[in-house]
Amino acid sequence: LGVGWALLSSTLGWSRFTMDWIAPFGDIFINLLKLIAVPLVLFSIISGVAGMSDVTKLGRLGIRTLLIYLATTMTAVLIGLAIVNIAKPGALADDDQRLRNRIDYELWVRETTGVERPLDGQCFSCEEVNRAVVEQVMAARQAGGADDWIGEKVQQARATKDAGPLQFLVDMVPSNIFLSFNNTLMLQVIFFAIFFGITLLMIPGDRAGPVTAFMNGCNEVFMKMVDLVMEAAPFFVFALMAGVVARMAGDDPGAVVELFKGLAGYGVTVVVGLAILLFLIYPVLLSVVLRRNVYGRFLRAISPA
């Protein structure tokens, strides 16, 4: 429905209507997910840790969880790099769109201090034949506003590059947990939740009981919130898709088609990578850890998701 509405609105010139009356519901959906994410992680981890009878088991469980997390993350990165280099989804985009993207990137690099120039040494925005495209891209950039968040990410990456080998440990420990909540710093939230849960296990049961019950109750509340938001997800995703396409393609149906050609290649690449993880890597990993074949049991267990 989102794709169909995007094509219809661009053909009939309804992009402004889509951005004013439909796209906001997609933004609401994103805000709801952000609203739920941090409290859900916080209360679920605290409830899980506080529900353990023996705190010494947490160390062994934590080490195993960390090792599995690192192994699956590295595997996912390698699979993603392999698939994207084989499929090359960016090649499906129209040549004109790729030129606009390249010029947009070159203009951003030129405006941002401390960012290295493209490694290929080419400058498409400097060529006289591309002057009209450069003017179009500059007008679109001025209409869309500055990409402040990209500059912030560059500064964060530069700070990480210059940091010491143990800086990641420092970054995991929050100095103000409320700032961590506000900035969605999930590693700091997870550290606080584990620390809180372990401390809760160390105090007498008559005092820890009410707090544990409260945390369990909050966890159930936010799990229910997830269910409620997901029930409305089809409409929200429709609004999100329609709004994104309207902002990027405007009233040009040809631009919509080219946009979806690029997105289709990207989407298929992502789905193939996820399928490899889901149907091959995870079952094999579980079978190795548990030392028995759990393929069918694993698929049945994840079927509700």
The answer to whether residue 215 scores a pLDDT higher than 90 is: yes
Domain with 292, as residue range(s), is 2-93+182-302
Is residue 139 a part of any domain in this protein?
Answer: no
Mean pLDDT of 89-96: 75
pLDDT in tens, 150-195: 666 666 666 666 777 777 788 888 999 999 998 888 889 988 998 9
Q: Which residues, 6+ apart, have CB-to-CB distance to 225 below 8 Å?
A: 36, 40
* Number of other CB atoms surrounding residue 157 within 10 Å: 10
103 domain residue, yes or no = no
In a domain, 132, yes or no: no
Which one has a higher pLDDT value, 15 or 85?
A: 85
Could you give the C-alpha distances from 4 to 11, 168, 257, 259, 260, in angstroms and in order?
11, 45, 11, 13, 11
The reply to whether 154 falls in a domain is: no
Residues 96-120, mean pLDDT to the nearest whole number: 78
pTM flag (> 0.75): no
As a whole number, mean pLDDT of residues 30-55 equals: 88
Q: Does the residue 150 lie in any domain?
A: no
Examine residue 212 and state whether it is found in any structural domain, yes or no. Answer: yes
